[in-house]
Each structure stands twice: as structure tokens, then as C-alpha cells.
Chains A and B, each alone.
Chain A
Amino acid sequence: MSAFSVFDIAGSGMNAQSLRLNLVASNISNANSVASSADTVYKSRQPVFAAELQGALNQQNAASKVNVLGIVENQAPPVMEYNPNHPMADATGYIYKSNVNTVEEMANMMSASRSYQNNVEVLNTAKQLMLQTLKMGQ
């Protein structure tokens, strides 16, 4: 029903942003993880958002929800550090640190939480308007 699509849309936005927050948490908590090869080291993960095409194609309801297409791993090379005494060091004495950029992740976190708040506000306002409409004529 169209009157409640605001809730669907804001809900999809909150879904997407909370996934983004989860990934930020995962990235930040793994920022200092170490591995002994470039393949096994933790790589920064980012969500890919897309507007749901259905809404854009259907002119009757041009408003579109947020779709999470997937999660991509950052392909930037891991940070290599020469540390032969480290228990995880490989044959050449290097350890591999994750390519997470904590500063970027903090900025990401703030952006995600603001967007989430925005969606919550939209939802609250829509809810209030609906409740007032239900009381119409009383």
C-alpha cells in the first residue's frame, strides 16, 4: 500500500546504514590484525549501495528503496612490515598488516550514523502524520 511505503523506504535506508556501521565496526576492530601472508590478511570491507531499480522504472511510484548489492573487499595492498622476531613472520621476515584506514573508517562511521538518524527522523515524522490522519474528524 502506498501510504506505508515511507516506512519501507526509510526502513531500507536504516538497513543499509546499519550494515555499513557493522562493517565499520568489523574494519576498526580488525585494523591491527596481522597475518603471515598477503592472501590471509584482513582486508577492509565496504558495502555497495544501489537504488532499487523497480522503483525507478515504475513511474507510478518513483520513490526507490536502498538495495545493498554486496560487500567488496578493498584491494589495496596490505602493509608489510619487516619484523623477523614476530611469531607470524614469513620466511623472509615480513608480517602483513591489514589495509584498514582507521581515519577513513571513523569518517565512514559518522556519515553512517548521521544517515541512520536521518532515516529515523523521517520514520518518526511519517508515523506522527499517519497517527494524526487516523484521528481525522474526531
Chain B
Amino acid sequence: MAINFDKALGIHPQALALREKRSTLIAANLANADTPNYKARDMDFKSLLKQSMPGAPGIERTQAGHFAPQPELDARVMFRNPTQVSLDGNTVEEHSEQARYAENAVQYQASLRFINGSFSDLMTALRGQ
């Protein structure tokens, strides 16, 4: 049986890519914390991950003229509902954005650790010791 990276690593490579995107979004929220009329954005991680998994149900192309579904699931970026509204129209709440950024960073590290574990498993299998 050949070694299959996709099977060995599971969803974590996709998760890493999405986490990286989410960190960009939250970084933008934090950078724009003082920008008037800026609306904080975030993504629905769960549904995005589901869609980016291999073998996920996608839009079928039943005719040759149909556009191919976009691999980038960009439209899932959504605006955040603020708990307290500020007068200048900015919806960034620094404390909650900070918490989300930290959460995202920890989950990124978790995925990274899983990948590293899978690699060391593969190495063990290769060495056969």
C-alpha cells in the first residue's frame, strides 16, 4: 500500500490554510480598530472547512457552459454583530477580536502539531524500526 499524504494528514492541511486566512481577517479587524465606519469581519470556519475537505459535495456542472465552482470559498466572509455599537460606525471590539485571534492561533498550533505527529508516524513507518 502506497503512502498517502492526504489520508495520513487528514483535514489539518486545509484547516491550517483556513486558520491562516482567518488570522488575516482578524488582524485586519484589529488594525482597523480606530477606522470610522469599518465593519469587523470573520469567517464561518466550520462550514468553510467542510467545503474545502476533499470529497465534499460541491456544485455539479451538468452542462459544458456552466462555470466551474470557485475553489476559493471567499463569499463566506461575514460581518460581525457588535454587542455595543459605537458612534463612528466602527464595529470592532478589540477585546473580543484579541480573544478570537488568540483562539485562532492556538488552534493553528494544534493543527500544526497534528501534522507534525503524522509526519513522525510516517517516518517511523518508513524506517521500519
Contact = CB atoms under 8 A, between A and B. Distances in A.
Instruction: Determine chain A's interface SS by DSSP, over half rule.
Output: helix
A132 B32 contact: no
A109 B34 CA distance: 12
Contacts of B77: 59, 62
Main secondary structure of the interface of B (DSSP, over half): helix
Question: Range of interface residues on chain A?
Answer: 35 or more
Contacts of A61: 24
B108 A129 contact: yes
Interface string A102-138: 0000000001101100110110011011001100111
B33 interface: yes
A118 B98 contact: yes
Interface of A: 2-3, 5-6, 9-10, 12-13, 16-17, 20, 49-51, 55, 59-66, 111-112, 114-115, 118-119, 121-122, 125-126, 128-129, 132-133, 136-138
